[in-house]
Amino acid sequence: MSLPISLGLFVLAGLCEIGGGYLIWLAIRDGRHWGYGAAGAVILVCYGMIPTLQPAHFGRVYAAYGGMFIVLSLLWGWGIDGVRPDRYDAMGAVLCLAGTMVIMYAPRT
């Protein structure tokens, strides 16, 4: 699998996990219509299926995804909630993304 496709799957999985969780958050914490929560649940099921398309084994995919999730969560908070990451958030996100790249894409013998 090519690197762009693999990274795209990580981004898609992240958007499904964060977006689905956010819709449930809106339904429960903000008192929105129950349909938000139901839609969030469906999207979270999609999140559970997308990582299975990665070529690596479960542990490696989910460990690597953790770094991507951190980056996407900060971007979601900035874009949707208007909370700009500070320099420590940015430094931590870069470290996590570097870890993701090593875990998932380092050449193995």
For residue 16, what are the CA distances in angstroms to 2, 34, 41, 88, 92?
A: 21, 18, 10, 26, 22
Q: Look up the pTM and report it.
A: 0.84
Alpha helices (runs of H) in the chain, residue ranges in sequence order: 3-29, 34-49, 58-79, 87-105
90 contacts: CB under 8 Å, gap ≥ 6: 74
Q: What type of residue is 103? A: I
Q: Rounded to an integer, what distance in angstroms lies between the CA atom of residue 64 and that of residue 49?
A: 16
pLDDT in tens, the chain (109 residues): 899 999 999 999 999 999 999 999 999 999 999 999 999 999 999 999 999 999 899 999 999 999 999 999 999 999 998 999 999 999 999 999 999 999 999 998 7
